Amino acid sequence: MARPWRLRHKLLLGLALVAGILATLLASIVHGQTSYLDTMKTIDSKLSESQMTEDLRSAVAQLVAVDKPHAPPTDEPDRLRKKLIFTQERLGIYENQLQDTLRRKRDPDGGFQESQLIEEFKKDLDEFDKAIDKASSIQLLNGMDVSLTQDEGIIAAHKKLSLTADELRQAIYGDMYHRIDVAKSHHRHTMIIVITCSSAAVLLLGGLLYFFYGWIFYPIKRLQDGVQQVAQGNFDQPICVNTGDELEEFAQAFNDMSARVQATWADLARQVNERSRQLVRSERLVSVGFLAAGVAHEINNPLASIAFCAEALQRRLHEVMPRSTQDSQTIGKYLAMIQSEAFRCKEITQKLLEFSRVGERRREQAELVELVQAVLEIAQLLQNCRGKHIEFHPQQRIVALVNGPDIKSVVLNLVVNALDSMDEGGTLTITVQQIGNQAELTFRDTGCGMEPEVLENIFEPFFTRSRTGKGTGLGLFISHQIVSQHDGQIEARSDGPGRGSIFTVRFPLQPAAVEARAA
């Protein structure tokens, strides 16, 4: 898998391309300016050399020129040598100028051609001097009165001097033209580079602007919109950034944070709702407790009187009427029934008093699997258990500090409710397991299930949706109260009508007060 490009790598690449184009442009401009300056310096030096060659050519032309038409012939050799010396001086001046050009490195070929022509020109001057000597000797021997400039040898030597001077001038012009051609070539190359780099810079600028929008501007805009959505409480629109760099990682991290915040928010809302319902339930429990206590106290006194009076009547009846009569037996039976029912009502009111009494009942170490098993042995004898299956899957032995009868009451109530909710062939699955320092009992049935409205009010007092029509709506309410007294929780779940129900009971193995004392 290719490694994603980081944002800094993208920016560094763009910066490197821009720097490369700028460096190429700068190098091309510097090269063009350098070539231009070298050309101007070369032309400046060569123009000076050209001026010197013109003076040299003028001196060469003066060698055979007639200065004084009536001058005596005997002075002509001296005059020619003076002109020859002047020409040599002109040549020396040019040679110095050439050395200055070479010292400044302004000659394209390093002065090679000019140096050869200078040496050749010096030889031609020597030949011209020899031609003067030879022509002077011939003129003295023959006594001729003819100008030396008409001598064939001097004319030939002068012609060679003129040709060499012209070649020297052409060499200087050739160097200037060559340098100009080089400058033109450099200028042409520079223009090509400048135009190419400028076009590339324009394209690169457009590309960088396009990628900048895709890499930075657009992702930042998406991040800003996503942050504003979260700030407004909307957690259902995740930020989608597919740049493969730090901004995408930032968007993913922000989405994860938003998901955690949403989950925390939902959990807090659920807890607030649950605590509110528990508070309402507790308030109702207090009201029911006060009502039950009042009613129990008020009913106990009449019940005690009824039982006492029935017992007194039965005792007197035995004294007054013979026991063998049928009426005596019937009256005694009814009085015994009145006593029995009165005491049974008293037991019920006593339970109401115990239920409304504040404080915890005695707790002892109990084995939960044995408690559940004892309840199931009784439940299997119930009439509503016929044709239904109860599966018990204890995971391990669990010992908890609980009130055994209360826990049995909770288990029995949940088992009876599950059996009532199922038709024949239904299955109730019970599991007992330890999770951390808590015990968890799960009751899963395949019964009629529950609607959301029933789930919300299932633990409310006097709320019932029993299919048998015999429920009072206090069973689950009392079970919830018992589990709460054990610092536990009881939860009900259902996927809907006809999909069964799941009741989960959790409570700590040791109450918080006991753990605090142990610590």
DSSP assignment of 265-311, as one string?
Answer: HHHHHHHHHHHHHHHHHHHHHHHHHHHHHHHHHHHHHHHHHHHHHHH
What pLDDT is attached to residue 218?
Answer: 73
161 and 105, same domain (yes or no): yes
Residue 169 lies in a domain: yes
Residues 17 and 92 in one domain: yes
> Computed from CA positions of residues 200, 205, 208, 214, in that sequence, does the dihedral angle turn out positive or negative?
negative
Q: Are 134 and 256 within one domain?
A: no
* 228 in any annotated domain: no
Burial code of 101-126, b = ≥16 C-beta within 10 A, e = fewer? bbeeebbbeebebbbebbebbeebbe
Q: 142 and 269 share a domain? A: no
Asked if residue 72 and residue 207 are part of one domain, the reply reads yes
Based on the domain organization, do 369 and 445 belong to the same domain? yes
Q: Which of 214, 233, 258 is at the close of a domain?
A: 214
Beta strands 399-402 and 364-367 are: antiparallel
Q: Print the SS3 string covering 164-185.
A: HHHHHHHHHHHHHHHHHHHHHH
CA angle 491, 495, 497 (to 5 degrees): 110
Same domain as 174, residue 139 = yes
Residues 423 and 394 in one domain: yes
452 assigned to some structural domain: yes
The closest alpha carbon to 98, from 84, 124, 116, belongs to 116
Angle subtended at Cα 372 by Cα 348 and Cα 282, rounded to the nearest 5 degrees: 50
Please tell me the distance from the alpha carbon of residue 373 to that of residue 392, in angstroms, as a whole number.
8
Which residue range forms the structural domain that includes residue 135? Answer: 7-214
**Same domain as 384, residue 349:** no
- Domain boundary residue, one of 308, 330, 356: 356
CATH classification of the domain holding 292: 1.10.287.130
Mean pLDDT split into 10-residue runs, the chain, 519 residues: 63 82 85 86 88 89 69 69 88 90 86 89 89 79 66 86 90 88 87 86 82 74 77 75 72 79 80 71 59 65 74 72 65 76 70 53 84 83 80 84 86 86 88 90 89 78 61 71 86 87 91 58
- Look up the CATH number of the domain holding residue 369: 3.30.565.10
Helix locations, 392-519, DSSP H: 404-421, 452-457, 475-485, 512-518
- 482 is a domain residue: yes
**Residue 480 one-letter amino acid:** H
CATH number at residue 53: 1.20.1420
pLDDT in the model for residue 462: 67
Q: Are 66 and 175 found together in one domain?
A: yes
Q: Confirm if 487 and 508 have CB atoms less than 8 A apart.
A: yes
Tell me if 436 is assigned to some domain: yes
Query: Of 328, 356, 384, which residue is a domain's last?
Result: 356
In a domain, 32, yes or no: yes
**pLDDT at residue 137, rounded to an integer:** 80
Task: Take residue 458 and report the two structure tokens written for it.
Answer: 């299932």
Residue 227 lies in a domain: no
Q: Which long-range contacts (CB under 8 A, 24 or more apart) does 21-28 make?
A: 21/197, 21/200, 21/201, 21/204, 24/193, 24/197, 25/193, 25/194, 25/197, 25/198, 25/201, 28/189, 28/190, 28/193, 28/194, 28/197
Cβ-proximal residues to 228 (8 Å cutoff; 6+ apart), any chain: none
For the chain, what is the domain count? Answer: 3
Using the structure block, give the residue that is written with the tokens 């309402």: 280
Rounded Cα gap, residues 168 and 309, in angstroms:
163
Same domain, 381 and 271: no
- The neighbour count for residue 87, using CB atoms within 10 Å, is 25
DSSP-derived letter for residue 499 is S
Bridge partners of residue 402, in order along the sequence: 364
- Which pair of tokens denotes residue 266? 């939902």
The predicted pLDDT at position 1 comes to 43
CA distance 219 to 225: 10
Residue 103 lies in a domain: yes
pLDDT value, residue 240: 78
For residues 401 and 267, membership in a common domain is answered with no
d(Cα 486, Cα 253) in Å, to the nearest integer? Answer: 41
Q: What is the DSSP letter of 150?
A: G
pLDDT of residue 207: 80
